[in-house]
Amino acid sequence: MATIQSLFETGRIFDIVLATLAIEGVVLWLYNRRTGRGLAPPALVSFLLSGVFLVAAFRASTLGAAWVWTALFLTLAFAVHLAELRGRWRACG
């Protein structure tokens, strides 16, 4: 059994978080498909993508990747987040 420390040292913790995000996405998509409620698929994708890019930035930073990868993932997370906010504001009025 892996220790919490080894999960962070190897980067496996980030893989677990990414897998959890994927499962969350599937569950929310199925919920929307069956009930018509919840986030529509485009909103769901942008919601999850910003999280995926943040996790990728933390992973790159923690595992000692070149700073440009961390910066790229943070920039992508911010861009997707802004796009999501824009979509939500449009929906409100």
pLDDT-above-90 percentage for the chain: 74
What was the pLDDT predicted at 73? 98
What was the pLDDT predicted at 90? 83
pLDDT per residue as tens digits for the range 61-89: 999 999 999 999 999 999 999 998 888 88
Contacts of 52 (CB under 8 A, 6+ apart): 18, 21
Contacts of 64 (CB under 8 A, 6+ apart): none
